[in-house]
Amino acid sequence: MLLIAGPLPPALVDAASVVWAQMPRPRCILALGSGGLGALPTPDVTVDLSQEGLLSGLEDLRRLVRKGAFARDVTDFDAPALSERIEFTCPMHPEVVSDAPGKCPKCGMFLVERRVSGAAPNTHEGHEGHSNSHTSSAQAEKAHHHADAVTSAEAPASYTCPMHPEVSSETPGSCPKCGMDLVPQTEAGKHGHGAHGGHKHHKDKPTQEDQGGYTAHTAYGQQDAHSGHHGHAGHGAAPDIPGIEPHFMSMVGLTEGKPVSPDGLVMEWIDTPFGPFFPGLPGGLQLALNLDGDSIAGAEIRGMETAALPSGVDLDDLADRLADAVPLSPVAMRELTCRAAEKATGQTAPKDTLAARAAAVERERIASHLNWLAGLARQMGLASLMRRATALQRSVRMAQADELNERADDIRNLLRGIQHG
């Protein structure tokens, strides 16, 4: 059942459409109050936005489900939020968006493909600038030529990539690695590319225009490392371009298909739990982090919440009631409840009973560790380790008391195998 209270904003309508499409049949919609539902189907029951309306609506839904749960005349559901479209954006300037491949009008990098929801607004802030990218590039190239005319008496003209300073050319053009527009080396130096020890311009030495060479970078041993870079015309394969290693994989290729972060960087997102290994014992804060590279894109709190004890429960039944409320570690919760009751009443269980209870908690703790190990192996792609840890976890939970020693040997063998690779 999809419960809708009051009118929904457009973004929430899209989210509700996705939820509705994923709900298994039989399904129904109960709307409290009137309001536009966008692409959602007409509600099965509409009542007033009140507690009384909710109760009466639930009764009406029960009757409808009993009569039409297996109806044959069902229709497929479709909405803009369920579709997707492809657009192109700049890895360095995510505000630049285009419907077609091209280059960023701000930095010249190749636009990369990304998939967005069909319901997402098609604003394309940078589309106008992208359509005029050829004009902008021509103006930039003209400005470069003007700068060359002013500084030609001082130093030979040379262009480099702001992102890849090892790429150099005698004429303006594009970087064969990332597609950015080449800039004069003096301008690139102002952007902080000082890792090459600075660029000497040798004002006292004659220019090398007739020799077709370049002023050497001091960090490269004063050697002519850029001969043959005549504009990078055609942008051929990487092995044909001096200075670029064969089979070069660009940043765009490495991050293709990855989600785009709010800061524009494209990295792989991973979900990482942060909390105690054994959730049955009080562990304080437990988080599920969504890591975007070295930053946290999202966090979900999954710690144990404070809840009121059930009323009207006998002390003898309290341990079982609380254990049923924690299905992941019922034995540990039962032990904690027993200890709290014993402390409150001043009673102490016999030693053999305490030992048996401690052994039961240890068995559950071992099973919890094996379950965590199986999950870690699954995330790392270690299928064999995942299967072994899962099988051991099940056998430890189901084993009889006299079979635990055999399970202990199996666990030791698993640990030895992990330690020795």
Is the N-terminal amide bond of 184 cis, ω within 30° of 0? no
Distance from C-alpha of 404 to C-alpha of 366, rounded to nearest angstrom = 11
Q: What is the pLDDT of residues 197-206, one digit of tens each?
A: 444 444 344 4
Count other Cβ atoms within 10 Å, centred on residue 324: 11
For residue 145, pLDDT beyond 60: no
Query: Taking all residues of the chain, what is their mean pLDDT, rounded to a whole number?
Result: 71
Read off the pLDDT band of 224 (50, 70, 90): very low
More confidently predicted of 28 and 283: 28
Q: What is the pTM of this model?
A: 0.34
Read off the pLDDT band of 390 (50, 70, 90): very high
Residue type at 173? G
Q: Which of 277, 269, 40 is nearest to 3 (CA)?
A: 40
Q: What is the pLDDT of residues 152-183, one digit of tens each?
A: 444 446 888 887 788 888 888 888 877 788 88
Q: 21 near 64, Cβ under 8 Å?
A: no
Helices marked H in 114-241: 127-131, 133-151, 185-190
- Mean pLDDT, range 284-299, rounded to an integer: 75
In order, the DSSP letters of 100-145 are S--B-TTT-PBPEEEEEETTS----TTHHHHHTHHHHHHHHHHHHH
What integer pLDDT is reported at residue 200 of this predicted model? 41
Q: Which of 59-63, 265-269, 340-344, 404-408 has the lowest mean pLDDT?
A: 265-269
Count other Cβ atoms within 10 Å, centred on residue 54: 15
- Mean pLDDT, range 310-337, rounded to an integer: 82
Q: What is the pLDDT of residues 34-90, one digit of tens each?
A: 766 777 888 888 888 888 888 988 888 888 877 765 566 667 777 766 667 788 888
End-to-end CA distance of the chain: 50
Distance from C-alpha of 207 to C-alpha of 187, rounded to nearest angstrom = 20
Distance from C-alpha of 75 to C-alpha of 56, rounded to nearest angstrom = 27
Q: What is the pLDDT of residues 99-144, one digit of tens each?
A: 888 888 888 888 888 877 655 556 554 444 444 444 444 444 444 4
Distance from C-alpha of 180 to C-alpha of 175, rounded to nearest angstrom = 5
Distance from C-alpha of 13 to C-alpha of 11, rounded to nearest angstrom = 5
What integer pLDDT is reported at residue 387 of this predicted model? 92
Which residues partner with 98 through β-bridges? 88
What integer pLDDT is reported at residue 355 of this predicted model? 92
Distance from C-alpha of 125 to C-alpha of 97, rounded to nearest angstrom = 6
What integer pLDDT is reported at residue 282 of this predicted model? 55
Helix or strand run (H / E) with residue 383: helix 383-398
For residue 317, pLDDT beyond 60: yes
Count other Cβ atoms within 10 Å, centred on residue 75: 6
For residue 230, pLDDT beyond 50: no
Q: Which of 35, 39, 37 is nearest to 47 (CA)?
A: 35
